[in-house]
């Protein structure tokens, strides 16, 4: 591939980026698009709608959103979007810092050495092959390889220092998040599964007797986890209807300028009043333990949520074995109410290990099946192969411009489109695994997508020169460093164009919100849908984190092999930092909090990238017959592994468990301030089951913005209007009956 083909690809992507950013700047000003570009602020009622009047100013692109996104402080982002968003943006800050250092070292130090590695007559730079800018242009036994070894040391030491500082900083943020936040129901609650059945007593009594017997001083109460019945479906439908009418009431109140809310049972009932009706129905149903429906429901109960009086008691109960049989009375610290994945709580505990094995096998099979489109993409980069595959296009391919577009731009576009099928499938696998929390499911999907991306985008593309290369990876693993050292520089051109298409263009697609924009247009102007279609989506960490980590891996591995990739990566990280800050502030709402648990994944992946870079460099120095550089690289490799072990022992436990010191101090503060009794009262109504398959859960008795947050845009749209009408009628009847009872009592 010639340097001119790279310039063609870069020019196309720059044009696409400018077009998309200009469109975003205009579209975000249109009132009918506020639900697409300001979803989070609309859900929090912190965004003042503007009248739909015509103005030429709305048709002019501006860069004001960039200024607002850049000057927003980290504390403001944490308050509106949680700690996870801060951790994600810290990954961009780390990437900008390390690749600024790497670009300076490699562009001004390594690149000239590569270019003049062989004594040859150089052509005009646009006509030069990109291979002359890689380490493949260095002759064997060249003393110039010392430059690459020194650059590798500078990059590794700088990365380790920055990684340590980030790990330390984020660890402090996580501890402050745990100790400085409001009391969380998840800190007092333990999920108990695999409960032994007894024919002599109800399961409810079995759970109570067990925890009173073995945790009597700290046990508070418990809540059974039931499968859905007719009564609970009615309650959940009523709650959904109530939430819809709250939104209608708020909208009408703003338009009419009224501050007083009607006390009508349908349009303006208070949340506390509605909660009174709900509790009345539930307590009446629970009190009759001789009811055959209750007995049958408890037989099929998959587990229970057990509430403790202190955080320390809940942490201890979740970490110790409750029985001499490890398969009985299995305990885990419960997720937050908004984070509970209710559907998976009904999965029998004994099936979980089988589900994990099955999903692991399915993921591995899918990884190898995906080799087919990757091999097709690599064949598109070989012009002669394309002429043989498509003889009818030989005339077009003989033209230089078309040849540059096909070999320099289309391969990475085809691979990018193929990768869109991966996240939904990996999220499905993670759901089947049996994770009890939505955040756990998203972390599991993040790891699967990360492994898939690194293997198929990096290793398979590097080794796809022939099937023999791929087989040698498994038959001769000792030769892996030499194979990578030989093949990685040859694939530099493909990965540079991949950064342009999958990196730059994907950021512009993210900020433009193409899918939501099209959906909003069709629902409002084609289907003339009058219902509220403005939903808020949670941030897709499981897709964005692997993407950013892949670009980090590409930056490290090609830093001394093909430094031309570094400027394009640096532009991606700078643009991504601004784009994601804007999206976090305006578009996405934190449905649940992972507490920064994604950072260990980020740290380990970056260290893996450093080690892989050193292994490839070790192979290159060996092939080039530079024993001194090889010896120093081995020392650097050992030092990097030791650094990672130190960080693991120093910080990783902070992200895995709570310390006794922190939870005991929190318990003492709550007891001394008198808040503990209030916390206990809130615990009894903190967790509420939702219908299977729905992506919402209620936290306490709040008017839940969280209920408007969706992971699947089609979930809420699939509910029928007839169900809503029936539910409204049932709620109205219940409120009318309650009013008659109150009137009778007063008389």
Q: SS3 sequence, 285-346?
A: HHHCCCCHHHHHHHHCCCEEEEEECCHHHHHHHHHCCCCCCCCCCEEEECCCHHHECHHHHC
CA–CA separation, 511 vs 509, rounded Å? 6
Contact 427, 542 (CB under 8 A): yes
CA–CA separation, 142 vs 137, rounded Å? 11
Find the helix or strand (DSSP H, E) in which 641 lies.
helix 627-651
- Could you list the mean pLDDT of each consecutive 10-residue stretch along the chain, which spans 747 residues? 69 86 88 81 62 65 85 90 94 96 93 78 63 82 88 96 96 92 91 86 88 92 73 56 57 48 39 39 46 64 90 94 91 91 86 92 89 70 63 66 63 74 91 91 94 89 59 58 77 84 86 84 71 68 94 94 92 94 90 90 96 92 89 95 95 92 93 91 78 37 34 38 52 60 58
Which two three-digit tokens encode residue 600? 């260990």
Sheet holding 219-225, edge to edge: 219-225, 303-308, 189-193, 330-333
Please enumerate in sequence order all residues whose Cβ is within 8 A of that of 698, keeping only pairs 6 or more positions apart, or say none.
239, 337, 688, 690, 704, 706, 707
Which two three-digit tokens encode residue 640? 């990097």
CB neighbours of residue 74 within 10 Å? 14
Positive or negative: CA dihedral 589, 591, 595, 596: negative
Exposed / middle / buried, residue 412 (Cβ in 10 Å: 0-12, 13-18, 19+): buried
Contact 622, 149 (CB under 8 A): no
Contact 299, 197 (CB under 8 A): yes
DSSP 119-149: ------GGGSBGGGGSGGGSPTT-TTHHHHH
- The Cβ-side half-sphere exposure at 336, using a 13 Å CA radius, reads 19
Contact 694, 715 (CB under 8 A): yes
Please enumerate in sequence order all residues whose Cβ is within 8 A of that of 279, keeping only pairs 6 or more positions apart, or say none.
685
pLDDT at position 736: 60
Q: Are strands 709-710 and 536-537 parallel, antiparallel or unpaired?
A: parallel
Which two three-digit tokens encode residue 335? 């997720």
Q: Which residues pair with 418 in a beta bridge?
A: none
638: closest CA among 626, 649, 646? 646
CA–CA separation, 51 vs 117, rounded Å? 65
Which two three-digit tokens encode residue 511? 């900020």
Q: How far is CA 670 from the centre of its chain?
A: 33
pLDDT at position 362: 93
340: closest CA among 449, 175, 191? 191
pLDDT at position 281: 41
141: closest CA among 728, 622, 654, 682? 622
212: closest CA among 221, 201, 203, 202? 221
CA–CA separation, 676 vs 562, rounded Å? 60
CA–CA separation, 380 vs 611, rounded Å? 31
pLDDT at position 394: 66
559: closest CA among 151, 158, 162? 151
The DSSP code for 197 is P
10: closest CA among 670, 704, 510, 567? 567
Reported pTM: 0.80
CA–CA separation, 593 vs 184, rounded Å? 11
- Angle value at C-alpha 246, between 244 and 248, nearest 5 degrees: 75
81: closest CA among 585, 722, 713, 500? 585
């Amino acid at each position: 591939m010639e340097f001119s083909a790279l310039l063609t690809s870069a020019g196309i992507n720059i044009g696409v980026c400018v077009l998309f950013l200009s469109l975003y700047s205009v579209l975000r000003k249109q009132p009918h698009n506020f639900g697409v570009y300001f979803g989070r602020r609309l859900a929090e009622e912190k965004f003042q709608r503007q009248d739909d009047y015509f103005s030429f100013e709305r048709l002019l692109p501006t860069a004001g959103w960039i200024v607002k996104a850049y000057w927003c402080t980290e504390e403001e982002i944490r308050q509106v979007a949680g700690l996870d968003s801060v951790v994600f943006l810290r990954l961009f800050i780390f990437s900008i810092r390390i690749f600024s250092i790497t670009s300076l070292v490699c562009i001004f130090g390594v690149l000239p050495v590569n270019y003049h590695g062989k004594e040859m007559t150089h052509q005009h730079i646009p006509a030069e092959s990109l291979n002359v800018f890689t380490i493949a242009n260095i002759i064997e036994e060249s003393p110039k390889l010392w430059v690459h070894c020194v650059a590798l040391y500078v990059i590794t030491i700088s990365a380790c220092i920055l990684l340590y500082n980030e790990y330390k900083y984020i660890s402090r943020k996580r501890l402050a998040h745990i100790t400085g936040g409001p009391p969380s129901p998840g800190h007092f609650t333990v999920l108990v599964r695999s409960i032994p059945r007894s024919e002599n007593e109800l399961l409810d009594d079995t759970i109570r007797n067990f925890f009173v017997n073995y945790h009597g001083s700290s046990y508070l109460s418990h809540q059974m986890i039931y499968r859905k019945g007719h009564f609970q479906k009615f309650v959940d439908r009523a709650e959904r209807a109530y939430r819809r009418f709250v939104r209608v009431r708020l909208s009408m109140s703003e338009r009419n300028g009224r501050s007083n809310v009607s006390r009508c049972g349908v349009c303006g009932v208070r949340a506390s009043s509605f909660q009174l009706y709900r509790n009345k129905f539930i307590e009446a149903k629970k009190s009759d333990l001789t009811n055959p429906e209750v007995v049958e429901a408890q037989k099929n109960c998959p587990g229970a949520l057990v509430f403790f009086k202190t955080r320390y008691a809940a942490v201890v109960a979740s970490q110790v074995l409750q029985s001499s049989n490890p398969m009985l009375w299995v305990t885990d610290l419960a997720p937050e109410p908004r984070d509970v994945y209710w559907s998976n709580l009904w999965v029998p505990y004994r099936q979980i290990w089988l589900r994990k094995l099955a999903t692991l096998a399915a993921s591995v099979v899918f990884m190898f099946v995906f080799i087919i489109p990757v091999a097709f993409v690599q064949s598109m980069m070989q012009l002669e192969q394309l002429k043989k595959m498509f003889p009818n296009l030989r005339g077009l391919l003989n033209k230089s411009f078309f040849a540059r577009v096909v070999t320099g731009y289309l391969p990475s576009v085809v691979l990018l489109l193929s990768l869109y099928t991966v996240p939904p499938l990996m999220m499905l696998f993670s759901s089947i695994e049996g994770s009890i929390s939505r955040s756990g499911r998203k972390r599991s999907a993040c790891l699967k997508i990360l492994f898939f991306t690194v293997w198929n985008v990096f290793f398979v593309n590097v080794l796809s020169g022939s099937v023999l290369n791929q087989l040698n990876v498994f038959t001769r693993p000792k030769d892996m460093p030499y194979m990578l050292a030989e093949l990685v520089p040859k694939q530099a051109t493909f990965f540079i164009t991949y950064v342009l298409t999958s990196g730059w263009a994907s950021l512009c697609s993210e900020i433009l919100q193409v899918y939501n924009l099209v959906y909003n247009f069709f629902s409002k102007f084609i289907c003339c849908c009058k219902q509220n279609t403005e939903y808020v989506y949670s941030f897709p960490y499981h897709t964005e984190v692997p993407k950013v980590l892949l670009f980090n891996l590409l930056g490290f591995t090609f830093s001394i092999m093909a430094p031309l990739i570094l400027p394009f990566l640096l532009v991606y990280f700078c643009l991504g930092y601004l784009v994601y800050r804007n999206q976090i502030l305006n578009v996405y709402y934190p449905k649940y909090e992972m507490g920064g648990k994604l950072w260990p994944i980020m740290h380990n992946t970056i260290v893996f990238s450093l080690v892989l870079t050193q292994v490839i460099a070790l192979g290159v120095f060996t092939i080039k017959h530079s024993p001194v550089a090889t010896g120093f690289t081995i020392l650097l490799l050992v030092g990097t592994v030791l650094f990672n072990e130190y960080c693991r022992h120093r910080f990783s436990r902070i992200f895995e468990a709570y310390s006794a010191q922190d939870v005991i101090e929190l318990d003492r503060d709550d007891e001394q301030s008198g808040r503990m009794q209030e916390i206990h009262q809130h615990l009894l109504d903190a967790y509420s089951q939702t219908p299977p398959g729905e992506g919402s859960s209620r936290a306490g008795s709040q008017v839940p913005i969280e209920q408007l947050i969706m992971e699947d845009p089609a979930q809420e749209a699939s509910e029928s209007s007839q169900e809503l009408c029936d539910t409204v009628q049932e709620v109205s009847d219940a409120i009318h009956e309650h009013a008659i009872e109150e009137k009778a009592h007063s008389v």
